[in-house]
């Protein structure tokens, strides 16, 4: 039996699945740090199915993919696309950016796969934007063409962080002094949550003893720590401003989606935050942006869904 697989590779985890009769099957998740190379991780997945042969696959990965040599941004894995295909004995192995995969998943998501934040309505076949705070900050745009959906790749997570109030200026100065440059990823990511927390603590003269973004987030959601609450509130505001910028870039009346591993953990907090107000706070274009809907993706395997959609659209493998 000839099998196809898809892989969604982030800075922390690699998720793999088969595509069977148009559906994802046999989904497995491994820690990237458990394997020296991506090839070893994929071979471990293949080993779960003795006697079966994989002939094609598609990898979505969190880094630029325009060269044969792939070097991950937030992990030590690197590999040659052509050599990996030969190592795995595959006929086809396209490698796409992880946000290409996430963007490709968006037209396939149902209402059960996402939570709407604020107003606005989707315009069918209009451009779509997606961004996702996680280990890093991924960004993508999706455009409808005569031949299907086209994802506009880029590295939008590394644009300048643009402060919009005095508290964000405090965060900007903290990052500038630390790195020499303040990028959006250094705010809208797991380490970004920690850095907002540290910047606010330093400015207020508070004691900052937390180093795990999950701890900060949990205490904020449970209202157990005023500094943590302020941190997460600020994170949501920056997220709103950033999402509004993406909406303006390409007039994304198909919606702006939030992916990644962070925001889905506190959807209600985002709904009750100033996220949507900041999304719409675009001066003369406030009315324009207010018509654009925003969503948090709650389907955990949307990266694999989009990778399978790409495999179908570009190689003829049915999803």
Q: How many CB atoms lie within 10 A of CB 78?
A: 12
Per-residue pLDDT, averaged over 166-190, amounts to 97
Q: Is 124 exposed, middle or buried (0-12, 13-18, 19+ CB in 10 A)?
A: exposed
**Mean of the per-residue pLDDT values for the chain?**
94
d(CA 130, CA 220): 25
Each residue of 217-233: b (16+ CB within 10 Å) or e? bbbbeeeebebbbbbbb
Q: Which residues are annotated as a binding site for ATP?
A: 7-12
Q: What torsion, rounded to 10 degrees, do the Cα atoms 188, 194, 200, 205 define?
A: -170
Measured CA to CA, the distance from residue 131 to residue 275 in angstroms comes to 14
Q: How confident is the model at residue 154 (pLDDT cuts 50, 70, 90)?
A: confident
Which range of 8-22, 153-167, 173-187 scores highest in mean pLDDT? It is: 173-187
pLDDT recorded at residue 319? 42
Banded pLDDT at 316 (limits 50, 70, 90): low
Q: With contact defined as beta carbons under 8 Å apart, do 244 and 281 qualify?
A: yes
Judge contact between 240 and 274, C-beta under 8 A. Answer: yes
The average pLDDT across 7-15 equals: 92
- Alpha helix positions (H), the chain: 38-46, 81-88, 98-105, 166-179, 190-204, 213-221, 226-250, 267-271, 275-280, 286-290, 302-315
Determine how many CB atoms are found less than 10 A away from the CB of residue 91. Answer: 12
Classify the phi-psi angles of 25: left when phi > 0, otherwise alpha if psi is within -120 to 50, otherwise beta: beta
- Please, how many CA atoms are within 13 Å of residue 214, restricted to the half-sphere of its CB? 2
The 10 Å CB-count burial string (b at 16+, else e) for 143-152 is: beeeeebebb
- pLDDT given for residue 1 in this prediction: 56
Q: Which domains does the chain have, with CATH numbers?
A: 2-97+307-315 (3.30.420.40), 110-298 (3.40.367.20)
Q: Is 236 helix (H, G, I), strand (E, B) or coil?
A: helix
Please tell me which of 71-75, 134-138, 284-288 the model is most confident about, judged by mean pLDDT.
Answer: 284-288
Q: Is the pLDDT of residue 251 over 70?
A: yes
- 3-class SS at 154? coil
Residue 297 bridge partners (DSSP): 114
Residue 317: pLDDT over 80? no
Q: Are 265 and 259 in contact (CB under 8 A)?
A: no
Output phi, psi for 134, to 5 deg.
-155, -130
Which pairing describes strands 137-145 and 128-133: parallel, antiparallel, or unpaired? antiparallel
**Closest of 97, 84, 92, 94 to residue 39, by C-alpha:** 84
pLDDT at 249: 94
Annotated binding site: 7-12
Tell me the backbone φ, ψ of residue 161, rounded to 5 degrees: -75, 125
pLDDT tens column, 45-76: 999 999 899 999 999 998 889 999 999 988 99
Segment 126-136 shows an average pLDDT of: 93
Mean pLDDT value across residues 167-186: 97
The Cα–Cα gap between 237 and 174 comes to: 18
Q: What band does 108 get if pLDDT is binned at 50, 70 and 90?
A: confident
Task: Say how far apart CA 123 and CA 175 lie, in whole Å.
Answer: 38
């Amino acid at each position: 039996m000839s099998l196809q697989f898809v892989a969604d590779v982030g800075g922390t985890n690699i998720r793999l699945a088969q595509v069977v009769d148009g559906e994802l099957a046999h989904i497995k998740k491994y820690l990237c740090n458990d394997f020296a190379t991506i090839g070893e991780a994929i071979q471990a997945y293949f080993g779960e199915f003795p006697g079966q042969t994989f002939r094609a696959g598609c990898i979505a990965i969190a880094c630029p993919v325009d060269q044969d040599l792939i070097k991950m941004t937030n992990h030590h894995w690197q590999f040659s696309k052509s050599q990996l295909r030969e190592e795995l004995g595959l006929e086809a192995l396209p490698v796409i950016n992880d946000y290409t995969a996430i963007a490709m998943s968006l037209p396939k998501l149902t209402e059960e796969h996402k939570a709407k934040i604020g107003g606005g309505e989707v315009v069918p076949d209009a451009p779509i934007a997606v961004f996702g705070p996680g280990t890093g900050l991924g960004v993508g745009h999706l455009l409808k063409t005569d031949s299907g959906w086209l994802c506009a790749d880029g590295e939008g997570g590394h644009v300048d962080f643009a402060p919009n109030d005095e508290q964000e200026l405090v965060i900007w100065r903290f990052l500038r002094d630390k790195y020499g440059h303040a990028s959006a990823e250094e705010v809208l990511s797991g380490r970004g949550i920690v850095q907002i927390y540290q910047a606010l603590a330093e400015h207020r003269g508070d004691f900052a003893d937390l180093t795990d973004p999950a701890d900060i987030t949990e205490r904020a959601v449970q209202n157990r720590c005023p500094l943590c609450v302020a941190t997460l509130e600020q994170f949501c505001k920056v997220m709103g401003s950033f999402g509004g910028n993406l909406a303006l870039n390409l007039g994304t009346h198909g919606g702006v989606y939030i992916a990644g591993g962070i925001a889905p953990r506190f959807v209600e907090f985002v709904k009750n935050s100033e996220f949507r107000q900041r999304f719409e706070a675009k001066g003369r274009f406030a009315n324009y942006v207010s018509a654009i809907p925003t969503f948090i993706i709650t389907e955990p395997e949307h990266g694999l869904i989009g990778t399978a959609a790409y495999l179908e659209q570009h190689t003829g493998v049915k999803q």
